[in-house]
Structure formats: C-alpha cells, structure tokens
Amino acid sequence: MTKGRPLTHSREKLLEKGIELFHQHGYHGTGLTTILEACQVSKGSFYNFFESKEAYAVAVIEFYQALEIDRWNQEFAQFEGNHFVKLRKSIEQMIEELDSCNENVGCLIANLSGEIGNASPELRQAIKRATEKVVGLMADDFLICQGEGSVRTDLPAALLAQMVWDCWQGALLRMKVEDSRRPLRQSLALLWEHILPPTSSHEFDSVITKD
C-alpha cells in the first residue's frame, strides 16, 4: 500500500510525535498502530528509522531530554543574579510555563519511570541515563553554588542534587493529584529558602509557611 511512498517523515518528526503520544498514553498505552496513525507513516518507514517500539521509546527519551536541556540553558542564560538565584528563577519560569494540560502530565521521564518498572532492560537503562544526566547537571550547578557560598557545604553537591530531584518527583505527583502547580512552588520555596542554603540561614522566617 505504501510502496514507493516518498519518505516525507523525518526521524525528528517521529520523535516529536512520540513525546506527545507517550505523554498522553504512557508507554504501554501507546501501541505501534497508534504511533503509525498519529505520524501518518507506514510500518516500513517506521522500521527504517527504529528497529522496534522499544528502540523508538529509547530515542524519544533521548530526544526529549536534549530538547529540555536546550530550553533550560536558554532560559537560565537570560536571568541575572548569582548562580543559586538564577537556578531558582529558571525553575520558577519552568513552573509558570506549564499549561493546564501539562499540570496533568508532568515530566515525561518521571512518568515513564513510574510506568516501566517491569519494562525491558534497554528502556530502563535509557531512563536511568536520563535521570543520572539531570542529577549530574544539577550537581554541577550546586557545586558552583557551594563555591559562591549560596548553598550548604556540609553535604556533597551530588547528594543535594539527588535530594532535589527526589523532592521534585514527589511534587510532580502531587501536582497531578491536586491539579495545581502549588506543590511545585511550595517545594521550590522550601528547598531554596530552608534546605539548601548554608545552615546559619535556616533560622529565617519564610513566606512558604503561609503559602
């Protein structure tokens, strides 16, 4: 049926569609037929790019993360202040940019982590790599913050990054359940005002308890 059909679908377009589909339906909920229909692509063309649905999912995860990191770097660069303040402003902007649809969606990688406990080793590895990459980038940031004196130094930057990532996952789950961005804002304020600063500044009264 599709023999000789021109290869109008670039790999990138298939990956973009994959982000959307996995966001909407999860990994298990997105069948190959759905992918083919949504991308208006034949099975043959699809298999020209990806050897399986699983290989496609791995590529989608990597593509999604590259996009998110680009977006983050662009936003981060536009803010003023020390590194710790710029991080907070960037995260605040990220939260405000979530639309009401995203409030139910959250981070693709976190969603897939929850879903693929029993999935294939390849997919799990892809998610593990993506998670480690984010945590690693955050650890680099916190190391800079520790150097500028804005973040506590009694704990290694890598451990702080891990904790912030963990907290963020919990806040994303609460965002979904509460259908509100409040948990994200609350978690950010708690971390940036009370948990991450050097110990001596823990005593400040904060707005977050009134939030």
Which residues are at the interface with a second copy (CB under 8 A)? 24, 26, 28-29, 104-106, 110-111, 113-118, 124, 127-128, 131, 152, 154-156, 159, 162-163, 165-171, 173-174, 176-179, 186-187, 190, 194-195, 199, 202-203, 208-209
Question: Distance of CA 6 to CAs 124, 139, 193, Å?
Answer: 34, 46, 56
Q: Which residues contact 99 (CB under 8 A, 6 or more apart)?
A: none
Question: Distance of CA 184 to CAs 45, 70, 91, 103, Å?
Answer: 41, 21, 9, 10
CB of 35 to a second copy, least distance (A): 17
- Which is nearest to 54 in space by CA: 119, 136, 141? 119
Supply the DSSP symbol for 211: -
Q: CB-wise, 47 or 173, nearer to a second copy? A: 173
CA–CA gap between residue 39 and residue 182 (Å, rounded) = 35
Q: CB-wise, 85 or 195, nearer to a second copy? A: 195
CB of 118 to a second copy, least distance (A): 5
Contact call for residues 165 and 196 (beta carbons, < 8 A):
no
Q: CB-wise, 46 or 192, nearer to a second copy? A: 192
Q: Considering just the CA atoms, what is the radius of gyration of the chain in Å?
A: 20
CB of 25 to a second copy, least distance (A): 9
CA–CA gap between residue 122 and residue 113 (Å, rounded) = 13
CB of 193 to a second copy, least distance (A): 10
Q: CB-wise, 15 or 196, nearer to a second copy? A: 196
CB of 96 to a second copy, least distance (A): 19
Q: CB-wise, 47 or 119, nearer to a second copy? A: 119
